[in-house]
Structure 1
Amino acid sequence: MLKPIPTATREQLILDGLWLFALDHDDAPEPWRARLDTTREAPVPASYNDVFADQEIHDHVGWVWYQRVVRVPRGWDGQRIVLRVDAATHEGVVYVDDAEVVRHVGGYTPFEADVTARVRAGDEVRITIGVNNELTNETIPPGMITVADDGRRKQGYRHDFYNYAGLARSVRLYATPLAYVDDVTVRTDIEGADGILRYDVATVGAGAVRVAVRDLDGAIVASGSGASGTLRIPDARLWGPGAGNLYGLEIHLVDGDDLVDEYVLDVGIRTVEVRGAAFLINGRPFSFRGFGKHEDSAIRGRGFDAALMVHDFALMEWTGANSFRTSHYPYAEEFLDYADRHGIVVIDETAAVGLNLGLGGGVHGRVTEPAFSPTMFSDRTQTAHAQGVRELIARDKNHPSVVMWSIANEPESVEEGAREYFVPLVELARELDPTRPLTYANEYRGTFHNDRLADLFDVICLNRYYGWYIDTGDLRTAEKKLEEELRGWGRTFGKPIIITEYGSDTMAGLHSVLTQPWSEEFQRDLLDVYHRVFDRVDEVIGEHVWNFADFQTSAGIIRVDGNRKGVFTRDRRPKEAAHLLRARWMDKARVDGDA
């Protein structure tokens, strides 16, 4: 799905701002048929939970409604007009005046509707968007709904971050010609000093396809014709870690000499390969330094904020990080655009977190029934998961920053049913994109002795908490157990290993001269222990600290105002561990040449 952009033939109207907002109510069974009966206004983009000082809204389970009246630009007469929602967490339905135009399940990927027949250029139109935050065992991510004695519906889930809901990303109207470029897929290679760009263009309506590649100075460096083809870019400037070199691929749909439609796609020339226990970008070994993150901030929840995004990237640069994982869902596409431009490497993850009955809110428990079964994570769950894989790859396939797909975080991997569940998903991902490696993030009960999934994937990603959840406070034992396990994975599989989560909860400002969990010194010392082990195990080619910044979770006795594993506080102030990482990673950046 192509992101809307302005070109010579396309325009867009971004509908960010204040929308009327109301909870779903039995007294208004069809709220889209008239003006919402409310005085509340909600910002878009933003999660709605923390915006209002209202417990009912914060805890609401079910549908909410957003509404806005929009005037369609009069210059769009005779154009195809599309309404796009960048994300609705976790289910969305859109009405234009009284008519439903699109419905979508999945909270982190875009959906859209052609509304040409329902709007008229120059006229006003009423747009109503319903958003449902319910999670069940058949959704991705999964959850469960219970009903309290007083009739209140309560949402439960196994993932350890707050279930923020609403319109957390932009809503747009955009216009294209009636014949238009519908999709583009690019794949790149390197031959000597030249870049190779293979492209496939899908169009709707009559017209021929012409393409051209421009460098940053605007000079055309390659051109061709036809809906698919291969272009050679002499002496190409490669995209790579710390080098956000991009070319502009211009796609023209033409009728003779007349331009019908234009789309311009930023492309980066680079290769990605796993060879033995090495991860190669452009033929050179790459070591991942960085973080698991969240789209999370005070008040906005998971709402996109350009200033916060830029600041987060600046802080990652300050630490010497070169990569991050979109834990545990696809981020706003603006994150990937920024990473493309600045040479930041991304592991892109689906929203499949919580497929594990042995975990709840990040804490290990007892497994009382099979996770993959007709009554829990069933064929319907797998179908929703497959949709998530398709939509992730369809949206992000052309981003050079995305070097690997992660199709799940901490699923149950030791059950017999796990393999039956995941094999079709792995096959699907490889069919959709044979160019990128695949991984999933493994939790500690899946060891190199009993894990049933690791051989299906190219890179082993491990989330490990020795010294925190296991042998809490005992860093000597943590160091011994961690090294033994990592060497076991290396011997057994011979694949690259990335530690995609490691760390400890830390209260900013809590200090101790002793080994005291929750203190800043303990977080620093724990990370230092892990780093010593990483440096001794050759197969370890990546370290992603959990987490970049403190983030909100559901309420609980071990989660006082959220998860405190950030090396930055929720308002982005550094803890002592941030300075440790900066000293280590800036030195590695100089050695690796991506500073």
Structure 2
Amino acid sequence: MSLRTSTAYVEDVSPGSGVLPPRAWYASSDATSLSLNGSWRFRLSDTADAEDDSFAARGYDAGDWAQVTVPGHWVLQGHGSPAYTNHLYPFPVDPPRVPTENPTGDHLRLFGLPADWPADGAAVLRFDGVESCARVWLNGTELGEFKGSRLPHEFAVGHLLEAGDNVLAVRVHQWSSGSYLEDQDQWWLPGIFRDVTLLHRPAGSVRDFFVHASYDHVSGTGTLRVDSDVAGRVTVADLGIDTATGEPVTVPAEPWTAETPRLYDAVLATPGERVPLRIGFRTVELSDGLIKVNGRPLLFKGVNRHEWHPERGRALDLATMREDVTLMKRHNVNAVRTSHYPPHPAFLDLCDEYGLWVIDECDLETHGFTEQGWRDNPVDDDRWTPALLDRAARTVERDKNHPSVVIWSLGNEAGTGRGLTAMAEWIHGRDGSRLVHYEGDHDCRDTDVYSRMYADHAEVERIGRGLDGGPRRRRALPFILCEYAHAMGNGPGGLLDYQRLFEAHDRLQGGFVWEWIDHGIAHPELGYAYGGDFGEELHDGNFVCDGLLFPDRRPSPGLLEYRKVIEPVAITGDGTAGTVRITNRYDFADLSALSFSWSYEVEGEAVDLGTLPVPALAPGESAEVELPAVPAGAPAGEAHWTVRAVLASDTAWAPQDHVVAWGQLAVSERRVPHVAATARPAHGNGGISLGPGVFDARTGALRAIGEVPVTGLRLDVWRAPTDNDDGAAWQSDLRPGPLWRELGLHRMRHRLDAVEAGEDALTVRTRVAPAARDLGLSTVYRWTSDGDRLRLTVSVTPDGDWTVPLPRLGIRFGLAAADAVRWYGGGPGEAYPDTRSASRIARRQSTVDDLQTPYVRPQENGARIDVRWAELGGLRVEGDPAFFLTARRWTTEHLDAAAHLTDLVPGDTVWVNLDHAHHGIGSQSCGPGPLPRYRLRAEPAEFSFVLSASGTG
């Protein structure tokens, strides 16, 4: 067989041949089905023309072939390697052609029909996802081929099935013309990665159906009509409905929303089949310039979700999908954008069941054409329009019966063009019950929503105020940030500031954080691998690790921050006023599903607690609720009220008492530590003693506090840059991380100017500065003591022209031994100036190891904010003012040099940072940097610490 004959379809712009028209997906009916998932025989070739098609014939001996698991990706099963690019195509851009050097996987599956497989009727072979294309044979007969990796394709096969062994053969090429449409900032992972199923289709069975279930919020009624290609009846027992297909019926019903996901079990019965349905009544509309469901505007508190598992890639099982949904619900997420393709269909069943708003996105992105100014972009080339329309149809037809899907998205970062217009027109014509979204259409010619990525706070506010200008149609549409708050590494920062804008302006209907999970691949030597770890020619490094979950699905500090920022109940007030203000921020639900409690805390410890009666406030309502009297006999000290809203009973996604929201109200201020300067510096044995402190007589360096050795105490301004500090390459003139390195802040030098032992203080004067620069930080350390404790006051004065912010400002020192850490202050997790919403004041304890945050690429992490005092390694530290605490078993320099967590080897010293201030985090790895108020300017500063022996090891 010639090369042209065997591989021509790979470069053909058509979506394929031989496949059945798209239709609605449903998980089960009373018709027989057979899963073909499992172990398949597999052969990998380096090129598209390396093998002929004889393997598809009956009797072919594949006994020496390898085996792979389907669903799965062959590159994650020991055959070839994965590759990651953000937007660059990893092959020459010459559409629709792809290289002959095209890894090709031949798959074979022998199967027999079950004994109860019906002898009559048709059968359909269904593939739910194959990357990037597939050519299919059954029992030696070619069925056809298809493209559209994350879309379903079916073949009619009933006439080819045999009673004995059946041979299913599938050839999969890594690259095809379809790859030009799937440049979606993810790992390139070829294979049959979703389910393969054989479905019996008895005579009279339904091929396709469309559930129309609207809700009238004025009358409280739902109207149901189910259109089916085969006439039948629809029954909904709970509503007393028994009606013919195609006939509308209106009944009193409860609406479906993401907050109250009421589903009604129903059955569609045709002469040959009974199909179970789950019906949710809801109406989506664009009204008064807003996205409304059931008459009320939505506020999306969403995430973008790529499908991912660190061992299986995009081959997800139901348990993993359910874990994603329950994690979203537990963290107050109410919406998902299925970036940038339709998810496994079972995921949308879970969104229906648990309650999530969904923007369902088509399997389309041509981002790599930016490299040539969008020349030859397929979405503006009429030859590609049939393929684009096929992708739109397969998305809409598969998912049209899900109440959770409220918006269709044409795709992502594909420029603009006639093909997108054709897709939008087709979708509007096929399904007028939902809105259409696309981020790249900034004039909103084809869309119902004005959507942007990574607009900064100032621009979002202008849009909210209607000051953004632009075409008249756009100005009349609601605005969403379909991507914002790039969650790469430490961060994102500024979430609260965005949320306040969303809540202040009706037109701003929320956003979707990029993204849900880090795409690290489990690796035996590296922990988790990212771009470049597999020898890729082109790659974008750890840009693929930009999620709110770590690869193993542990929540990151970013997700905990987001959960707090988007809480559906606001708990605010003045702790001295005797009341707390409760505001319902749900869009639909009242507060009857929640119960409230209070605790009164002094110096971080609860001294009393109880329940708090709160009315079942309607959405948007607020109430001032009286707090109890301050508990009699409560000890003196800094005090707080902490009020929590928890689930009053078990739900499908969390148990009773799960915390939904909390607020902390200050009652009294902390007592600032005071040390009277009564001890005098004394010389002896080559050193200087002052209270419990021992200092080097020549340098003034602290050597010990009591029996605790201390090394290397000095001013520190460097932090291992975060992904957001380093910023994206296109922000080259703004990224603080590279500017810090250029200035030399990672290699500061310390000059000793004077050691002055006065009557009641030891003063050490220094200048801290980078090599090759004429600027620096004049730094004075002033030590005093009352005999038992040391007070260190650090005064910093910048000199020279400082035009960049500082990474941090504080002191660093080493302890010979430390493990347990106790502190009173913010926590439980890390926090920085613009990521501190989830930090609550309390007494806490940890180990040094557990203070670390395991970002896939090591970087600054683990700081606890607002720390009043801390104990570790035999020392007690009190701050004036409160400080940031960080402790690690490696230096910042080692952290900075590490590429993977496995590069961090614990040393014999625990390095402690006590920071007066930090530069904010922002989300400049793709979005904006920290807001001005979170930038750490080089300005005069003074801060103090009180140090003493604690007995804590």
TM-score when scaled to structure 2? Answer: 0.51
Output the aligned Cα RMSD: 2.8
Per the alignment, do residues 140 and 484 of structure 1 end up closer, same or farther by CA in structure 2, a change over 3 Å counting? Answer: farther
Distance across 2 between alignment mates of 1:369 and 1:15: 41
1:70 positional shift: 0.7
Post-superposition Cα deviations, 1:446-486, rounded to whole Å, max 9, x if no partner, equal 7xxxx4x41331111211164xxxxxxxxxxxx43443456
CA contact (8 A) 1:355 1:371 kept: no
Matches within 5 A, 1:411-490: 411-413=414-416, 418=417, 420-442=418-440, 451=442, 453-464=443-454, 466=456, 479-484=457-462, 487=465
Larger Rg: 2
> Corresponding residue for 1:293?
305
Secondary structure in 2 matching 1:81: strand
- For the pair 1:201 / 2:218, whether they are aligned, the reply is no
- For the pair 1:396 / 2:417, whether they are aligned, the reply is no
Distance across 2 between alignment mates of 1:112 and 1:302: 20
- For the pair 1:171 / 2:196, whether they are aligned, the reply is yes
Post-superposition Cα deviations, 1:137-171, rounded to whole Å, max 9, x if no partner, equal xx36537xxxxxxxxxxxxx5x3211222111111
Distance across 2 between alignment mates of 1:50 and 1:307: 20
Matched to 1:23, the amino acid is L
- For the pair 1:250 / 2:271, whether they are aligned, the reply is no
Q: Which moved more, 1:237-246 or 1:395-404?
A: 237-246
Per the alignment, do residues 261 and 541 of structure 1 end up closer, same or farther by CA in structure 2, a change over 3 Å counting? Answer: same
In structure 2, runs of 5+ residues without a counterpart are: 1-22, 85-89, 91-100, 521-529, 571-583, 590-659, 661-953
Post-superposition Cα deviations, 1:224-260, rounded to whole Å, max 9, x if no partner, equal 23x421122x321221112222223322223xxxxx3
> Corresponding residue for 2:243?
224
Matched to 2:171, the amino acid is G
Secondary structure in 2 matching 1:499: strand
> Corresponding residue for 1:42?
68
1:377 positional shift: 4.8
1:188 positional shift: 1.9
Per the alignment, do residues 23 and 525 of structure 1 end up closer, same or farther by CA in structure 2, a change over 3 Å counting? Answer: same
Distance across 1 between alignment mates of 2:213 and 2:27: 23
1:487 positional shift: 4.5
CA contact (8 A) 2:425 2:446 kept: no
CA contact (8 A) 1:96 1:128 kept: yes
> Corresponding residue for 2:141?
99
**Aligned mate of 1:11, from 23, 29, 32:** 32
Per the alignment, do residues 495 and 6 of structure 1 end up closer, same or farther by CA in structure 2, a change over 3 Å counting? Answer: closer
Secondary structure in 2 matching 1:573: coil
Post-superposition Cα deviations, 1:200-243, rounded to whole Å, max 9, x if no partner, equal 1102xxxx52222233xxxx621123x421122x3212211122
Distance across 2 between alignment mates of 1:385 and 1:486: 33
In structure 1, runs of 5+ residues without a counterpart are: 144-156, 255-259, 359-365, 467-478, 508-519
- For the pair 1:319 / 2:324, whether they are aligned, the reply is no
Q: Which has the higher strand share?
A: 2
> Corresponding residue for 2:167?
126
CA contact (8 A) 2:268 2:275 kept: yes
Distance across 2 between alignment mates of 1:285 and 1:20: 52
> Corresponding residue for 1:302?
314
- For the pair 1:272 / 2:315, whether they are aligned, the reply is no
1:573 positional shift: 2.1
- For the pair 1:236 / 2:253, whether they are aligned, the reply is yes
Distance across 1 between alignment mates of 2:374 and 2:223: 51
Distance across 1 between alignment mates of 2:465 and 2:445: 16
> Corresponding residue for 2:181?
142
Secondary structure in 2 matching 1:455: coil
> Corresponding residue for 1:70?
111
CA contact (8 A) 1:140 1:352 kept: no
> Corresponding residue for 2:870?
none
Post-superposition Cα deviations, 1:167-212, rounded to whole Å, max 9, x if no partner, equal 1111111213123211111212234122101221102xxxx52222
Distance across 1 between alignment mates of 2:264 and 2:36: 29
* Paired positions, count: 514
> Corresponding residue for 2:548?
567
1:268 positional shift: 1.2
**Aligned mate of 2:477, from 495, 498, 504:** 495
Matched to 2:340, the amino acid is H
Per the alignment, do residues 211 and 532 of structure 1 end up closer, same or farther by CA in structure 2, a change over 3 Å counting? Answer: closer
- For the pair 1:28 / 2:51, whether they are aligned, the reply is yes
Secondary structure in 2 matching 1:49: helix
- For the pair 1:111 / 2:153, whether they are aligned, the reply is yes
CA contact (8 A) 1:79 1:178 kept: yes
Secondary structure in 2 matching 1:198: strand
CA contact (8 A) 1:210 1:251 kept: yes
CA contact (8 A) 1:490 1:539 kept: no
CA contact (8 A) 1:503 1:565 kept: no
Secondary structure in 2 matching 1:162: strand
Matched to 2:481, the amino acid is I
Distance across 2 between alignment mates of 1:107 and 1:56: 16
TM-score when scaled to structure 1? Answer: 0.80
Structure with the greater relative contact order (CA < 8 A, sep ≥ 6): 1 or 2? 1
Aligned-pair identity in percent equals: 25
Distance across 2 between alignment mates of 1:551 and 1:342: 25
Post-superposition Cα deviations, 1:407-449, rounded to whole Å, max 9, x if no partner, equal 0212324xxxx3x34322211111111111101023xxx7xxx
Distance across 1 between alignment mates of 2:467 and 2:223: 36
Secondary structure in 2 matching 1:336: helix
Distance across 2 between alignment mates of 1:198 and 1:43: 41
Distance across 2 between alignment mates of 1:15 and 1:108: 18
Per the alignment, do residues 175 and 384 of structure 1 end up closer, same or farther by CA in structure 2, a change over 3 Å counting? Answer: same
Secondary structure in 2 matching 1:182: coil
